[in-house]
Every structure is written in structure tokens, then in C-alpha cells.
Amino acid sequence: MRVGFIGLGSQGAPMARRIVEGGYELTLWARRPASVEPYADTSAKVAATPAELGAASDLVCLCVVGDDDVRQVLDGESGVLAGMQPGGVIAIHSTVHPDTCREIAKTAAEHGVSVVDAPVSGGSPAASEGTLLVMVGGDDADVERVRPVFATFADPIVHLGPLGSGQVTKILNNLLFSANLGSAVSTLELGESLGVPRDKLCEVLARGSATSKAVNSISMFGGTLEGLAPIAGALLQKDVRHAAALADDASAPQGSVFTAADTALESMHHPR
């Protein structure tokens, strides 16, 4: 299978390297030439446009930031879909609204191209080690076809159901992570008011039964969300909005998880 990859950021870059080092014919495209320079020591080729990348690929992996970014690289005369041949597959690794995936799938079907949604979790270290978590939604045949490529950078690969279910799951994952951040910050603030130094309470929480990825992330930044905000603040805010929209559409109760998530987002914008 020939693979194209767009979105060579902190997470996408090691994913692409794992693919080419796994023996797959890889084509890259990026707006900035500097983004593809690190692959000069590999067999990866560089396309002049997304359409050229699409024409050279059976599977195109997208790891760009958001919904509009996905649409931009796919649509138009120079977009991926203009070049892809019937029978190809697009994998959306970006975290986007599930309706965006369904909308793209309808357009792609007009070109004879299938779509799977495959958001990831674990960050750059997990991608480099081949242990990313991939949450996949899509038809069984499409998922099994692309699974060997995903296996170069991911373990586990969890097929959750039809198209869009991977995005729903990733959004819920990020909602709970945000809520855990909010609960941890509230606990640290309470500890300070009770006379427990923030740094010492961080040390205990990171080693005790209350530990979590959220606690460890806060501990890395001195017990506040101020350092984490520039890295993940906007992305988590986007995903919490998506989660709220999904809950509203399903007439589902939002519950306390949203209250805790809002606490985290508020702390990122107005750290104490």
C-alpha cells in the first residue's frame, strides 16, 4: 500500500517516520519545506501539492489541527481528492466533529474513495515508540485494509464502530482529561487554603492512589495549568465544545464532567 501523509507536527512527524521505516512507500506534503527536511534520510518522496500526493497514494493519512484544516487539504483543484484514484482510503487522525467525517465521506464517495476516522492519543513519545492508541471508526473492510499501516505506529488499534465513532470516543477521552485537570487544580487550590504547599501536594498526588495523567501533567508545570495552556488549551477547549454539542444533539445529560472541564479551561485562561 502506498501511503501519503499530511500534518507533520509534533505527533504526525513520528507517525510518518514509523510508516516509512516500516517499509511503506511514503509521500509527504507540507506548506513549509522545513517540515519535510527531517525525512531526507528516508525513502519518503515529497509532493508539490495535496493532489499530487493523492495521486501517489492508496491511503492518505491526515494529522492536521482541526475541521477546517482537514477540509482545506482535501478540497479544490489542488486538494487530495482531486488526485486520488477510486478505491483509495482517507484516514482522519485529526480530532474533529464526527459530522465533519461523515460530510467528507459523502464527498469522497463521489470519487470512489472511502474514509475512516482514526484519532490518536499518546503524544509524540508514544508515536515514536509505536504505542499510540488509535480509535477507529469505519467499515470493517476499510479498517482491516489500513490496520497494517496503523500498526507501524500504534498499539492498540481499537475499532469502535461505524464512521464517526472514533471521533466521539476521542472527544469523550479529552472531555474526561479536561475534567481531571479541573478536579486536580481545584484540589491543589483547596490544599493551599488548608496549608499544604502546592508542590508537596503535587508530589503526593503523583505517587498516590489519586494519580492520573492530568495530575502528572500539572506536576510537570509546577502545579498550575499556566504552562499547559499554550500547548493544549485551545485544542481541549475545541474538544469540550464538540462534546457539549454531541450531548445536546443526543439530548443527553451533561453532568459534572462538564463542570470540572470548565474549571480547567477557566484556569488555563485565568491562572491563579
Spatial separation of the C-alpha atoms in residues 173 and 121, rounded to whole Å: 9
How far is Cα of residue 134 from the mean position of the Cα atoms in its chain? Answer: 9
Q: How many CA atoms lie within 13 A of 71 on its CB side?
A: 13
Spatial separation of the C-alpha atoms in residues 269 and 272, rounded to whole Å: 10
How many residues make up the chain in this entry?
272
238 is catalytic: no
Cell numbers that stand for 245 in this block: 454539542
Spatial separation of the C-alpha atoms in residues 33 and 36, rounded to whole Å: 6
Could you say which DSSP state residue 37 is in? Answer: G
CB distance 202 to 220 below 8 Å: no
CB atoms within 10 A of CB 272: 10
| Nearest Cα residue to 148 out of 162, 130, 166, 161 | 130
- Check 45, 170, 200, 213 and give the catalytic one: 170
User: Strand, coil or helix: what is 99?
Assistant: helix
- Measure the CA angle with vertex 66, ends 61 and 69; round to 5°: 70
User: Strand, coil or helix: what is 257?
Assistant: helix
Hey, which residues are catalytic here? 170
